[in-house]
Amino acid sequence: MERWFTVEVIDCDTYAISEYKHWEETHCYLICGTERAVLIDTGLGIANIRKTVDRLTSLPVMAVTTHVHWDHIGGHKYFENIAVHEAEKEWLSVCFPIPLQTVKDNLTSQSCEFPEDFIIDDYRIFKGMPQRLLRDGDCLALGNRELTVIHTPGHSPGHCCFYEAERGYLYSGDLIYRGSLDAFYPSTDPHLFWQSVRKLRPLKITRILPGHHQLSIPVDIINKIDKAFYIIYDDGKLSQGNGVFDFGDFSIHI
């Protein structure tokens, strides 16, 4: 495998492809069916994730996007078939919302062991036209497996989670994970973020597969995040500029 990536087996046809050597600790997920596969997010774009994917499956692969932030679309350049929520089509195809230099500064803000052939001056943000636009409730059929698109705005306007009802898997992107849940950027909305968390509560979830950091997290973290947002709201502080609220397993930055 590419030394930059760590591959972990979720089950016999589901894999986490992670970038633990970078402080973002991003996770991408390869979900294989009998006819086709999807790769949820493509990471930082520091190394060629397609080489790792091709070692795991020979199926045709569509790269689907939880949201159009630089750490989730970096490897989109290695795929011909890309899907993104309709609200972020222009972020992907016309103008990324963050300046390139800001992304580079973020990428290198903490020291890490980059691949020998990685040159920061050559780093570019992916720009391209998606082949499919996603909407809330859409189904991604892989043959014997199906993923449902759940539009969960707040962290970004077109943020999506992906839910596999049969196995109870929730691929939660940047909505649910152990770390800083960010809703302080101009393009974020803390109220929508909270609504999106609440939208997940009725689902029968056996495992959460997050976008960053610790791969194994308890399912009840959804309820804990919901309660945390309520505490902030009840204190009259659920508006941008009020800072970071620490809740132990996670924090909320608004």
Determine the pLDDT at residue 1: 43
Determine the pLDDT at residue 198: 98
Tens-level pLDDT at each residue, the chain (254 residues): 468 999 999 999 999 999 999 999 999 999 999 999 999 999 999 999 999 999 999 999 999 999 999 999 999 999 999 999 999 999 999 999 889 999 999 999 998 989 999 999 999 999 999 999 999 999 999 999 999 999 999 999 999 999 999 999 999 999 999 999 999 999 999 999 999 999 999 999 999 999 999 999 999 999 999 999 999 999 999 999 999 999 999 999 99
Residue type, 200: L
Both tokens of 191, joined, read 């109220």
Which CATH number describes the domain made up of 6-174+208-218? 3.60.15.10
User: How far is residue 191 from each of residues 211, 219, 230, measured CA to CA in Å?
Assistant: 21, 22, 10
**Mutual angle of helices 221-234 and 190-200, in 10-degree steps:** 140
Nearest to 50 by CA among 74, 71, 34, 66: 74
DSSP string of 152-179, one letter each residue? --SSSTT-EEEEETTTTEEEEETTS-SS
Judge contact between 148 and 138, C-beta under 8 A: yes
Determine the pLDDT at residue 164: 98
- The CA distance from 216 to 195, in Å, is 24
Both tokens of 40, joined, read 């949820």
User: How far is residue 220 from each of residues 116, 173, 176, 198, 223, measured CA to CA in Å?
Assistant: 41, 16, 11, 12, 5
Determine the pLDDT at residue 2: 61
Q: Report the run of H or E that residue 224 belongs to, with start and end.
A: helix 221-234
Of the CA atoms within 13 Å of residue 160, those in its CB half-sphere come to: 30
Determine the pLDDT at residue 97: 87
- The CA distance from 224 to 115, in Å, is 38
Determine the pLDDT at residue 34: 98
